[in-house]
Amino acid sequence: MPPQATACRTIPDLLTHNAEKHPDLPALSWKQDDGTWTTLTWAATRDRVLELAAGFSGLGIGPGDHVLILMGNRHEHWLTDVALSHLGAPTTTVYSTAAPEQIGYIARHSRARTAVVDTPGPAWRDLAADPETPLERLVVVDAPEPGHGDVPFSSVVDPAGVSALLDRPGAVPEDLLTVVYTSGTTGDPKGAAMTHGDVLSNITSLDRLVQPLDHPEHVSYLPLAHIAERVLSIYAALLRAGSVWMCPSPDHLVETLQHVRPRTFFGVPRVWEKLTAGVQVGLDQLPEEQRAAVDAARGVGEEYARRLEQEGTVPDELRARHEDLHEEVTRPILSLIGLDRVEQATCASAPVPVELLQFWSGLGLIVREVWGLTESVGVATGNSPTEGTRTGSVGRALDDLSVRIADDGEVLLRGATLFSGYARADGTLDPAIDADGWFPTGDLGHLDEDGYLWITGRKKDIIVTSGGKNVAPAPVEGALKEHPLVGHVHVHGDARPYVVALVLLDPDAAPAWARSRGLEADALSDLAAHPEVRAEIDRAVEQANTRLSRPEQVRRHRLLGDEWAPETGELTPTLKLRRPVVEERYAAELDALYAHGTD
């Protein structure tokens, strides 16, 4: 934690600190409908937050009153979240892709009487009218529909009520700050409850691990219901008096990055895969001489990163050569996607192929893996630019956290930076730890001799073939996704004689790849049927198999012309596979892959 902020014990404390110590620094920026950007300083941000908090208080919201938020990455969401923390009112942000049944479950389980929404879709109308849900009011940011009794967001702001608000007792570290419901690959989501103390403990420990930049820029583009985005966009930004730039969706990510050119960037593996595929397609289209120059520069970049990781230092000659080639060759490539100023790049949420990390280090951007889950309030372990990096691992534990591997390989966590427990429907908490304080993460892994954690898969995802071989699907899927044509992969083989895979094309890279080779088809369904594309996917599978053990090798695969997304149900909002959904929807296709014998 910055020295001046050591007295801060709650989220409102951090906001007050920033407004007093950094009043003129930029805090929150968003794009207007006319394309111009608006920015609030930290002083102005605190004013807005207090006025909004006073308005919510006027609606009768107070300590312990849960409030649902369903908004995109917009400044009203950020302000609402922080304003409610001043009232002791825990927030729950709902994924915009959540099904009506999930929204209803969260509304009932959280006992929320108020929801703040962009626009009240039919699901919210039904919930507000459902006597089985406690919802009493909708606060609507965009124009409310007449006749429904909605509360316009603009009317909540109450400058006159700020003085009375400041006279009230403030939040304490033990107060519940937020309940984050897991997106869930199966079953009902669980509500992970976090106090102010839980969150500040985690972000200060994370600070000590990664040694972040002062006042960093952060582009907020992942759903704020995702713990990683909540930590980076709200909590860590408050800790470091950072500058948060709202990006309405991942579709606008590159254009926002090009405008902001941030010094930090976080992406889940699927985002890094899509960025990699886009850059790779561009490199493939370069004239041979330019491509050779880029390949040479990437070779130097990879050697620089490797020596830095293994030895902690780099010879002066290699350093100078790398810096020259980075300025002349690879930085201009990064500038095309707005990553040329990035000093700290991280990846988390799912396994990422080592080759992808090497691709970016070749371009002069070292992407460090961190690991955690909702219940660890985000990051639990991480590679560090100052404390050491080991590519392929997810780093070492935060200093207030212990990691242990159970007899069956499951990763266990214990320490001060964990959540307080799962929220029960009656408002009490289930601590979710054993008698010795260990929390079972559901991930499998091992620790090396230096304390670096290596994640090998999810316990519930392990495939056991009919021959008794255990196969973790994530490394197999990662090996296939190294090819830029490949978007998503689902590996299957539980109780089967061998492993098979469903393969989907990358919707951005595949059409560009096809055009570069003079192929006419643009629709993914047409591309998936094209002989040249199918042959290239066959080669990608063969190449991946050379790096996999025999039980892991994909014996048969099927290339699909579909697209998977959170909206269609095959992916979670954090872009992880919902395996049961895929297994059910594609049961016939998977069965067909075993229809020609057992090999």
Q: What is the CATH number of the domain that holds 587?
A: 3.30.300.30
Same domain, 452 and 496: no
* Token couple for 133: 């849900």
Q: Which residues contact 372 (CB under 8 A, 6 or more apart)?
A: 227, 228, 348, 378, 379, 380, 381
Same domain, 71 and 181: yes
Which of 212, 232, 262 is the last residue before a domain boundary? 262
Q: Which residue has the higher pLDDT, 450 or 2?
A: 450
Same domain, 515 and 376: no
Residues in the chain: 599
Tens digits of residue pLDDT in 118-173:
988 777 777 777 888 888 899 999 977 777 788 999 999 999 999 899 888 888 89
Of 480, 508, 454, the C-alpha closest to 577 is 480
Question: 244: domain CATH number?
Answer: 3.40.50.12780
Q: What is the dihedral of CA 234, 237, 242, 244, to 10 degrees?
A: -30
- Check whether 478 has a pLDDT greater than 90: no
Q: What pLDDT does residue 184 have? A: 54
- Check whether 1 has a pLDDT greater than 60: no
Q: What pLDDT does residue 127 have? A: 78
Neighbour tally for 330: CB within 10 Å: 23
Q: Which residues contact 364 (CB under 8 A, 6 or more apart)?
A: 301, 322, 326, 330, 331, 334
Tens digits of residue pLDDT in 179-206:
999 865 556 789 999 999 999 999 999 9
Same domain, 564 and 577: yes
Please give the full DSSP string across 9-56, using - where no structure is assigned. Answer: -SHHHHHHHHHHHSTTSEEEEEE-TTS-EEEEEHHHHHHHHHHHHHHH
Q: Are strands 429-430 and 421-423 parallel, antiparallel or unpaired?
A: antiparallel
Same domain, 223 and 283: no
Tens digits of residue pLDDT in 57-115:
999 999 999 999 999 999 999 999 999 999 999 999 998 877 788 888 899 999 999 99
Residue 366 is assigned to a structural domain of this protein: yes
d(CA 5, CA 17): 7
For 216, 260, 454, the CA distances from 266, given in Å and listed in that order, are: 12, 14, 20
Q: Which residues contact 589 (CB under 8 A, 6 or more apart)?
A: 502, 558, 560
Tens digits of residue pLDDT in 151-160:
999 999 999 9
Answer for the pair 581, 186: CB distance below 8 angstroms, yes or no. no
Residue 139 is assigned to a structural domain of this protein: yes
How many domains does the chain contain in total? 3
Q: Residue 456 half-sphere exposure, CB side, CA atoms within 13 Å?
A: 16
Same domain, 248 and 327: no
Which of 235, 262, 289 is the last residue before a domain boundary? 262
- SS3 label, residue 559: strand
d(CA 533, CA 73): 37
Tens digits of residue pLDDT in 531-551:
999 999 999 999 999 988 888
d(CA 321, CA 219): 31
Same domain, 454 and 467: no
Q: What pLDDT does residue 598 have? A: 46
Residue 354 is assigned to a structural domain of this protein: yes
Answer for the pair 554, 540: CB distance below 8 angstroms, yes or no. no
Residue 599 is assigned to a structural domain of this protein: no
Residue 597 is assigned to a structural domain of this protein: no
For residues 400-429, average pLDDT: 94
Of 110, 71, 133, 116, the C-alpha closest to 191 is 110
d(CA 539, CA 562): 20
Report the mean per-residue pLDDT for the chain. 90
Q: What pLDDT does residue 3 have? A: 45
Same domain, 60 and 156: yes
Which of 240, 262, 284 is the last residue before a domain boundary? 262
1-15, 151-165, 357-371, 414-428, range with the lowest pLDDT: 1-15
Please give the full DSSP string across 99-139, using - where no structure is assigned. Answer: -HHHHHHHHHHHT-SEEEESS--HHHHHHHH-TTS---EEE
Q: What pLDDT does residue 328 have? A: 95
Q: What is the phi-psi region of residue 295: left when phi exceeds 0, alpha when psi lies from -120 to 50, beta otherwise?
A: alpha
- Check whether 297 has a pLDDT greater than 80: yes
Q: What pLDDT does residue 393 have? A: 95
- Check whether 4 has a pLDDT greater than 80: no
Tens digits of residue pLDDT in 339-386:
999 999 999 877 788 889 999 999 999 999 999 999 999 999 999 988
Q: What pLDDT does residue 599 have? A: 47
Residue 144 is assigned to a structural domain of this protein: yes
Question: 321: domain CATH number?
Answer: 2.30.38.10
Same domain, 248 and 350: no
- Check whether 411 has a pLDDT greater than 50: yes
Which domain does 551 fall in, by range?
Answer: 462-592
For residues 485-505, average pLDDT: 93
Buried residues in 50-70 as b, exposed as e (16+ CB within 10 A) = bbbbbbbbebebeeebbbbbb
Task: Please state the φ and ψ torsions of residue 122, each to the nearest 5 degrees.
Answer: -55, -35
Q: Are strands 453-458 and 264-267 parallel, antiparallel or unpaired?
A: unpaired
d(CA 583, CA 322): 47
Q: What pLDDT does residue 90 have? A: 96
Same domain, 339 and 390: yes
597 pLDDT tier (thresholds 50, 70, 90): low
- Check whether 261 has a pLDDT greater than 70: yes
- Check whether 45 has a pLDDT greater than 70: yes
Same domain, 312 and 448: yes
Residue 305 is assigned to a structural domain of this protein: yes
For 163, 398, 497, the CA distances from 158, given in Å and listed in that order, are: 10, 41, 66
Same domain, 509 and 453: no
112-116, 449-453, 527-531, 566-570, range with the lowest pLDDT: 566-570
323 pLDDT tier (thresholds 50, 70, 90): very high
Residue 598 is assigned to a structural domain of this protein: no
